[in-house]
Amino acid sequence: MARQGGEDRQILDQRGENEEELERHVQRIAAEFRRGFEAVDRIDRPAVTIFGSARIGEDHRWYQAARVMARRLAEAGFAIVTGGGPGVMEAANRGAQEGGGPSIGFNIELPHEQRSNPYLDVAVTFEHFYVRKTMFVKAAEGFVIFPGGFGTLDELFEALTLMQTGKVLDFPVVLYDRAFWSDLVGWAGDELMKDGLISPEDERLLFVTDDAEETVAFVEDCYRRRCAEVPAEPLKADAQ
């Protein structure tokens, strides 16, 4: 059972730490980064990170689509990385194993514990969200984003911000389910673009589809062409 509030909350709540407390927190965070880096180093092939809601069941169409997509990506030679929990994450890890590929789960300790799904070949549970999110990006040659809530949106915009500002290479980002994402994509184009808050080039960071096979083809094509070797060219100093 995770400690109430977790290590993140303890760090954020505290003020005026003494040197001993400060050093203890720094060491714990550094050790967690090391553990994550070692897990990523165990992935022996290019990987795709799949995000999406933990709140859907096996009978949901997004679960079924994620399972099929992950299986096809695994058959195409990719490892599958998820947050290691239920819902879309479980479906993707399950599909990875069915496709004969490595299935990796980077889970998180929460006050109300999130269970790990049973389809993981490599499983690491983190205390700190920022360490976990680093591993999602470090492991990936591409991102597939299924519908989800605040956590999924956070992961989506983290990836886009890192690419927009040139902090990571320009990987494919796929949004699955046009109907679900249409309002968000439209708002970004109508409002953010109109007001000059993003650049026209930023729209190319997203690929929206309803088709699992189209997603696999897009990720494969991008990887073959080594688009990930070309850094994104930020037109501004940051993504503010």
CA distances from 161 to 77, 119, 199, 232, 234 (A): 27, 30, 12, 11, 10
pLDDT for residue 239:
46
What angle, 0 to 180 degrees and rounded to 10, lies between the N-to-C axes of helices 19-41 and 6-13?
Answer: 150
> What's the pLDDT score for residue 18?
80
Cα Rg for the chain, rounded, in angstroms?
18
What is residue 230's predicted lDDT score, i.e. its pLDDT? 57
Handedness of CA 210, 213, 214, 218 (dihedral sign): positive
Element (H, E) at 174: strand 173-176
Q: Give 5-65 as a DSSP string.
A: THHHHHHHH--S--HHHHHHHHHHHHHHHHHHHHHHHT--S-EEEEE--SS--TTSHHHHH
pLDDT at 107: 95
> What's the order of all strands across the beta sheet hosting 173-176?
122-126, 103-108, 79-82, 47-51, 140-145, 173-176, 206-209
Nearest to 110 by CA among 92, 132, 138: 132
Query: What length does the chain have?
Result: 240
pLDDT of res. 115: 86
pLDDT at site 21:
86
**pLDDT at 2 > cutoff 60:** no
pLDDT at 10: 60
Residue 2 has which token pair?
């995770």
Q: 6-228, what's its fold?
A: Rossmann fold (3.40.50)
pTM: 0.86
Look at residue 4 in the predicted model and tell me its pLDDT: 40
Has residue 236 got a pLDDT over 80? no
Between the two ends of the chain, the Cα-to-Cα distance in Å is 38
pLDDT digits (tens, 9 = 90+) for 114-144: 789 999 999 999 999 999 999 999 999 999 9
Q: What is the pLDDT of residue 204?
A: 78
Please state, in angstroms and as integers, the Cα–Cα distance from residue 240 to each residue in 153, 164, 236, following that order. 17, 11, 9
pLDDT, position 228: 52
Domain locations in the chain? 6-228
Task: List pLDDT tens digits, range 181-225.
Answer: 999 999 998 899 889 999 888 877 889 999 999 999 999 988 887
Average pLDDT over residues 59-78: 97
Nearest to 144 by CA among 209, 74, 231, 226: 209
**DSSP per-residue letters across 125-161:** EES-HHHHHHHHHHTEEEEEE-S--HHHHHHHHHHHH
pLDDT band, residue 12 (cuts 50/70/90): low
96 has a pLDDT exceeding 90: yes
pLDDT for res 3: 44
Q: What is the pLDDT of residue 71?
A: 98
Under the banding of pLDDT at 50, 70 and 90, the label for residue 227 is low
